[in-house]
């Protein structure tokens, strides 16, 4: 590892991002122990150049210039000798994502996110895996010793692809969904008078995490050695029908990313473990008749189907913000996101140990799931080391659901690496949501989705070039 934490090289793939890249920039303004140069690589070179200007201005204002941002149009030069590589990309564009999410609606299939599982997640994976194959090979050639932090969905398959292409890679997937559940536990403690409002930080909530990304489960949760499961059980009984709504304008009816936690509560009442992701993600991993049979059923469970039109509108607003930041007409507000990427890097540099949840190949930390499959558990970070925490595994009734998705992931990974559309279709046919269709309708949907999304990437997909 780099012996000088003030002279790091970080390669940010997807460096033109107006989401995760900006989050990372803002978090860096609080960091005083690290410094160096961040190389921003993006297929949209102008977006990367915009972030170079924005990032450097932000560092000059808030960080004494410890970090320099540099847009780099060459992936190889951006990677060469990097200490850390961050990846947050959108595979394709929102036009492809609109197909992922909305094309299945013509067949009565509804998705609340559409980027991890279900027909949308599987189609997104077919676009993403070839890109991650190339990224893995580029990292192998230019930065084989770098630590790689992946933020792209589908998280499990992106991380799995990196290891399939470059088994010695030092990569892990980062997701904040568990953080939201830890924050919910604090709200429950406040609700029942255990602690005054605003006095407990998320880091004080200790949870044992296990499962796969966006379908993670907690079998132990505590605060200062006090077991939180009895409290959560009381909460789940009280709010099973109404859901937990704090009120205000930012509720599930006004915010596409909010919910009343009814799916999470229902899963706890079914299985006895705390489902540790947002309701929109959790619902997609379950048989569709549970939560996603219709828009009316979604409203009953008090979460939302996020339309891609909203994401497109949000992108246009962020483009305007980017121009205003570049021209100095507006100043980017600074606040810490609560993400742990920088803390993870510091731990890997030997600047303090860290225990947190990450996605890694299964080397026994999930003894009931296939070895090598990417799973999400806690892991211990120390100098140049990430060691997953061993769990006792999931109850059989939850493991059955998880194994279905891991099997789907393995099939879609094989199909994508072989560029075999027929094999991909066979996997697609076994998806929980697709099983409600006749084989003829499933074939029509698959053909429509692949025809509309794969050719734009220029991949050799069974005749698509």
- The residues annotated as belonging to the active site are 176
Q: Where are the alpha helices (DSSP H) in 106-214?
A: 118-142, 155-165, 177-191
User: DSSP assignment, residue 390?
Assistant: P
Q: Helices H, strands E: what count in the chain?
A: 17, 13
Question: Helix (H, G, I), strand (E, B), or coil: what is residue 216?
Answer: strand
Of 113, 119, 129, 173, residue with least CA distance to 147? 173
Q: How many CB atoms lie within 10 A of CB 352?
A: 12
Q: Tell me the residue length of the chain.
A: 465
Residues 240, 243: Cα–Cα separation, whole Å = 6
The token pair at 440 is: 């003829």
The token pair at 12 is: 């940010």
Residues 436, 69: Cα–Cα separation, whole Å = 49
Bond before 207 cis per omega within 30 degrees? no
Task: Note whether 424 and 414 are within 8 A (CB).
Answer: no
Residue with tokens 């999400």, as numbered in its chain: 376
Of 238, 241, 252, residue with least CA distance to 280? 252
- 213 to 26, 154, 159, 209, 355: CA distances (angstroms): 25, 9, 11, 10, 17
The token pair at 290 is: 């549970």
Degrees, nearest 5: CA angle 19-357-58:
30
Residues 168, 161: Cα–Cα separation, whole Å = 12
């Amino acid at each position: 590892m780099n012996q000088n934490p003030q002279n790091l090289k970080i390669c940010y793939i997807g460096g033109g991002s107006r989401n995760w890249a900006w989050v990372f920039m803002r978090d860096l303004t609080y960091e005083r122990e690290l410094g160096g140069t961040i190389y921003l690589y993006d297929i949209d070179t102008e977006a990367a150049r915009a972030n170079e200007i924005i990032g450097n201005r932000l560092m000059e204002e808030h960080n004494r210039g410890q970090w320099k941002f540099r847009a780099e149009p060459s992936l190889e030069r951006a990677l060469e000798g990097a200490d850390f590589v961050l990846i947050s990309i959108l595979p394709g564009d929102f036009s492809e994502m609109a197909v992922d999410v909305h094309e299945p609606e013509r067949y009565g299939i509804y998705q609340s996110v559409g980027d991890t599982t279900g027909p949308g997640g599987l189609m997104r994976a077919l676009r993403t895996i070839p890109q991650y194959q190339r990224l893995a090979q580029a990292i192998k050639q230019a930065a084989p010793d770098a630590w790689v932090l992946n933020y792209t969905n589908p998280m499990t398959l992106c991380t799995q692809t990196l290891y399939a292409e470059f088994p010695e890679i030092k990569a892990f997937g980062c997701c904040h969904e568990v953080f939201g559940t830890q924050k919910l536990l604090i709200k429950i403690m406040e609700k029942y008078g255990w602690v005054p409002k605003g006095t407990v930080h998320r880091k004080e909530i200790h949870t044992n995490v296990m499962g796969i990304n966006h379908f993670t489960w907690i079998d132990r949760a505590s605060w200062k050695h006090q077991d939180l499961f009895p409290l959560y059980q009381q909460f789940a009984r009280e709010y099973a029908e109404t859901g937990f709504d704090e009120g205000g304008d930012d509720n599930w009816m006004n915010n596409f990313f909010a919910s009343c936690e009814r799916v999470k509560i229902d899963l706890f009442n079914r299985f006895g473990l705390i489902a540790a992701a947002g309701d929109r993600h959790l619902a997609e991993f379950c048989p569709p008749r549970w939560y996603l049979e219709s828009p009316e059923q979604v409203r009953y469970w008090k979460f939302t189907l996020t339309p891609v039109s909203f994401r497109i509108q949000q992108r246009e607003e962020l483009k305007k913000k980017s121009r205003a930041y570049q021209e100095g007409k507006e100043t980017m507000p600074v606040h810490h996101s609560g993400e742990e990427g920088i803390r993870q890097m510091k731990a890997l540099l030997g600047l303090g140990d860290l225990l947190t949840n990450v996605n890694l190949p299964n080397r026994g930390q999930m003894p009931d799931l296939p070895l090598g499959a990417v799973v999400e558990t806690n892991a211990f970070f120390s100098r140049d080391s990430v060691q997953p925490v061993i769990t006792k595994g999931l109850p059989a009734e939850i493991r059955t659901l998880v194994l279905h998705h891991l099997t789907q992931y393995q099939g879609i990974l094989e199909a994508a690496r072989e560029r075999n559309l027929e094999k991909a279709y066979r996997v697609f046919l076994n998806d929980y949501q697709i099983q409600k269709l006749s084989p003829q309708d499933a074939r029509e949907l698959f053909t429509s989705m692949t025809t509309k999304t794969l050719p734009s990437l220029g991949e050799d997909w069974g005749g698509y070039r």
